[in-house]
C-alpha cells in the first residue's frame, strides 16, 4: 500500500489508521474525510525532533496551517510543541479559538490589511512576516499606537525555481510574494525597516515552492540567504538572528513519487547550512521551516459513494462520485495525481480503467483521468488517499454541495471533529 496507515482486512475492506473504512462510511455518510491523528503527531514529532537535533535547540518547524485548518489541528500541533504559520485573520481566529499560544505564531500573507495587523497584535501574535513597505509602515504605526514593539521577519525572494507546478512555485523573482534580493530592492527594504522605532527586525524569510522532493533547492535557497545575511552584516551592520526557509517538502501521492525521509533531509540541509555559515563567517541564525503538506497529507483520506458508472462505447468509462472539486479541487486546478481504490472491494484486481468525475455541473470537475481501480458499481465506496493537505482547506460549496465532515481516528477510536455542512449552514448568512 502507498502508506503504512493503509491496509486490507479479512473482509476485503480497506482499513485506514486501523479502522474499517466501510464502517466509517456507514456511520458518518459520504463524502467523508478521515484524519489519522497518530500519524500527524508522528510527523510533528519528526519535524520538532529533527530541527532541534540538527539545527539546535531554538530551531523550530512551524506548521503551515493553510494545508489543513480547523480547531482540532491547532490543538494537536500545540500539544506536540509545534509553532504555526497563519496567513489570514480567519486562520488566526481559528487558532485563537483552539487556545493556540499565539506568541509562537507567525502571521504571513502578501496583503495584510491594517485591520488584520491590529487584530494580530490584539491577539498577541508573536511575529509578522512582512511582505512590503506598506506593511512595514502599518505594522510600525499600529504597534506605536498600541505601545508595543512588534517582532518582524521580512519575506525575501531568493530567485529560485524548484521546478514544481508553476502555480505552487513561489520563490522566483517574478512572484507576488516577497522582495527580490537580486534586483537590490531587498537591501533598501531592510534598511528602511531598520529605521522603524516600533519594529524589532528578527531576520528573513523565503519560501521556494511546494512538492519539492530533493534537498538541493533548499540548499540552494540557504546558500543565497546565508551569503545575503553576510552581505547585509557588512553593508548595514545588521545581523539576522532568524532565517526561515519556508515549507515545501514533497509528499508521496502516487507509487511513482519517492518516499521522503524527513529526518535525513533535514540533516543534509543542516550540514549544508553549517558549512555555508562557516564559509561566509556568519553566526548560524535560528532556523525555522514551515512544513504544511508533509505534516498532514498522508494523515488524510477521503471516502465517496459511487453513483453512475458510464461507459462510452469503444472510448472510456466515467465513474461519478458524490463529491469532487468541491472537496478536492486539486486535480481541476493543478492536474494533481492521486491514488484511489474501491474500499469495499479492496482485495479485487484494480483492472478497470476509468475517469473519476465529481458531482458538480462542470465538465472539468474530475478527480482523476485514466486510472485503474477495482470495477465499481453504484453504492460502492471510492477511497482517495493522501487528501489531508489542501483538500478540506480549499473546499467550497459550489453548486451548494456541502463540505464533508472530518472524523479523527486515534488508537482505533473515531470521533467527529467537524460536522457535515448542512443546507441550513449554506443559507445562514442570507437575509430575507
- Binding positions for ligand LLP, rule: CB under 6 A: 64, 67, 85, 108, 168, 170, 207, 210, 246-249, 290-294, 330, 334, 390, 394
Smallest gap from Cβ 249 to ligand LLP, in A, equals 6
Active site residue 361: yes
Give me the sheet containing 14-16, strands edge to edge.
6-8, 14-16, 19-20
Nearer to ligand LLP, 108 or 345 (CB): 108
Nearer to ligand LLP, 2 or 426 (CB): 2
Smallest gap from Cβ 298 to ligand LLP, in A, equals 13
The rounded distance, in Å, linking the Cα atoms of 52 and 44 is 12
Pairing of strands 300-312, 381-385: antiparallel
Check: CB of residue 276 under 8 Å from CB of residue 227. yes
Q: What is the DSSP letter of 93?
A: H
Check: CB of residue 139 under 8 Å from CB of residue 117. yes
Q: Please give the torsion angle defined by the CA atoms of residues 166, 167, 173 and 178, in that order, rounded to the nearest 10 degrees.
A: -160
- Cell 485506514 locates to 16
Closest-CA residue to 229 (of 267, 193, 185, 190): 190
Smallest gap from Cβ 360 to ligand LLP, in A, equals 18
Active-site option among 69, 219, 354, 361: 361
Nearer to ligand LLP, 189 or 213 (CB): 213
Smallest gap from Cβ 427 to ligand LLP, in A, equals 28
Nearer to ligand LLP, 240 or 251 (CB): 251
Smallest gap from Cβ 164 to ligand LLP, in A, equals 9
Give me the residues paired with residue 8 across strands: 14
Check: CB of residue 203 under 8 Å from CB of residue 242. yes
Q: What is the DSSP letter of 103?
A: G
Angle at 369 between CA 347 and CA 402, to 5 degrees: 85
The rounded distance, in Å, linking the Cα atoms of 367 and 324 is 6
Check: CB of residue 398 under 8 Å from CB of residue 360. yes
The rounded distance, in Å, linking the Cα atoms of 390 and 331 is 11
Joined together, the cell numbers standing for residue 363 give: 465538465
Nearer to ligand LLP, 89 or 376 (CB): 89
Nearer to ligand LLP, 21 or 179 (CB): 179
Nearer to ligand LLP, 250 or 357 (CB): 250
The rounded distance, in Å, linking the Cα atoms of 418 and 327 is 14
Nearer to ligand LLP, 22 or 287 (CB): 287
Give me the residues paired with residue 320 across strands: 357
The rounded distance, in Å, linking the Cα atoms of 320 and 309 is 6
The rounded distance, in Å, linking the Cα atoms of 384 and 30 is 12
The rounded distance, in Å, linking the Cα atoms of 217 and 209 is 9
Check: CB of residue 80 under 8 Å from CB of residue 101. no
The residues annotated as belonging to the active site are 361
Amino acid at each position: 500500500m502507498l502508506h503504512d496507515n493503509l491496509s486490507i482486512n479479512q473482509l476485503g475492506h480497506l482499513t485506514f489508521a486501523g479502522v474499517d473504512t466501510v464502517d466509517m462510511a456507514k456511520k458518518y455518510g459520504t463524502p467523508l474525510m478521515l484524519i489519522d491523528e497518530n500519524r500527524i503527531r508522528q510527523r510533528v514529532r519528526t519535524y520538532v525532533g529533527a530541527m532541534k537535533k540538527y539545527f539546535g535547540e531554538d530551531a523550530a518547524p512551524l506548521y503551515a496551517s493553510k494545508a489543513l485548518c480547523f480547531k482540532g489541528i491547532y490543538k494537536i500541533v500545540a500539544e506536540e510543541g509545534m509553532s504555526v504559520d497563519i496567513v489570514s485573520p480567519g486562520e488566526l481566529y481559528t487558532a485563537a479559538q483552539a487556545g493556540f499560544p499565539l506568541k509562537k505564531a507567525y502571521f504571513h500573507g502578501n496583503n495584510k490589511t491594517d485591520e488584520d495587523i491590529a487584530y494580530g497584535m490584539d491577539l498577541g501574535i508573536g511575529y509578522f512576516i512582512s511582505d512590503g513597505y506598506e506593511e512595514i509602515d502599518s505594522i510600525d504605526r499600529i504597534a506605536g499606537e498600541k505601545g508595543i514593539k512588534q517582532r518582524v521577519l521580512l519575506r525575501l525572494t531568493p530567485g529560485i525555481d524548484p521546478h514544481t507546478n508553476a502555480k505552487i512555485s513561489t520563490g522566483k523573482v517574478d512572484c507576488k510574494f516577497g522582495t527580490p534580493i537580486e534586483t537590490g530592492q531587498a537591501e533598501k527594504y531592510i534598511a528602511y525597516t531598520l529605521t522603524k522605532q516600533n519594529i524589532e527586525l528578527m531576520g528573513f524569510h523565503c519560501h521556494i515552492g511546494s512538492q519539492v522532493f530533493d534537498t538541493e533547492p533548499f540548499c540552494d535557497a540557504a546558500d543565497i540567504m546565508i551569503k545575503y545575511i553576510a552581505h547585509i552584516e557588512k553593508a548595514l551592520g545588521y545581523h539576522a538572528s532568524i532565517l526561515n526557509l519556508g515549507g515545501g517538502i514533497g509528499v508521496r501521492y502516487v507509487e511513482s513519487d519517492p518516499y521522503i525521509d524527513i529526518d535525513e533531509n533535514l540533516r543534509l540541509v543542516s550540514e549544508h547550512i553549517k558549512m555555508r555559515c562557516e564559509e561566509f563567517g556568519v553566526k548560524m541564525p535560528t532556523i525555522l521551516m514551515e512544513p504544511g503538506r508533509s505534516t498532514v497529507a498522508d494523515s488524510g483520506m477521503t471516502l465517496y459513494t459511487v453513483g453512475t458508472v458510464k461507459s462510452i462505447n469503444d472510448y472510456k468509462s466515467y465513474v461519478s462520485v458524490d463529491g469532487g472539486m468541491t472537496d478536492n479541487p486539486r486535480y481541476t486546478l493543478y492536474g494533481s495525481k492521486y491514488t484511489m481504490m474501491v474500499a469495499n472491494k479492496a482485495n479485487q484486481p484494480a483492472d478497470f480503467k476509468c475517469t473519476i468525475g465529481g458531482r458538480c455541473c462542470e465538465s472539468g470537475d474530475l478527480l482523476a483521468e485514466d486510472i485503474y481501480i477495482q470495477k465499481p458499481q453504484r453504492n460502492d465506496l471510492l477511497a482517495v488517499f493522501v487528501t489531508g493537505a489542501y483538500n478540506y482547506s480549499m473546499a467550497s460549496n459550489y453548486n451548494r454541495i456541502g463540505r464533508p465532515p472530518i472524523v479523527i481516528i486515534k488508537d482505533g477510536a473515531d470521533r467527529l471533529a467537524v460536522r457535515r455542512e448542512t443546507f441550513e449552514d449554506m443559507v445562514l448568512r442570507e437575509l430575507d
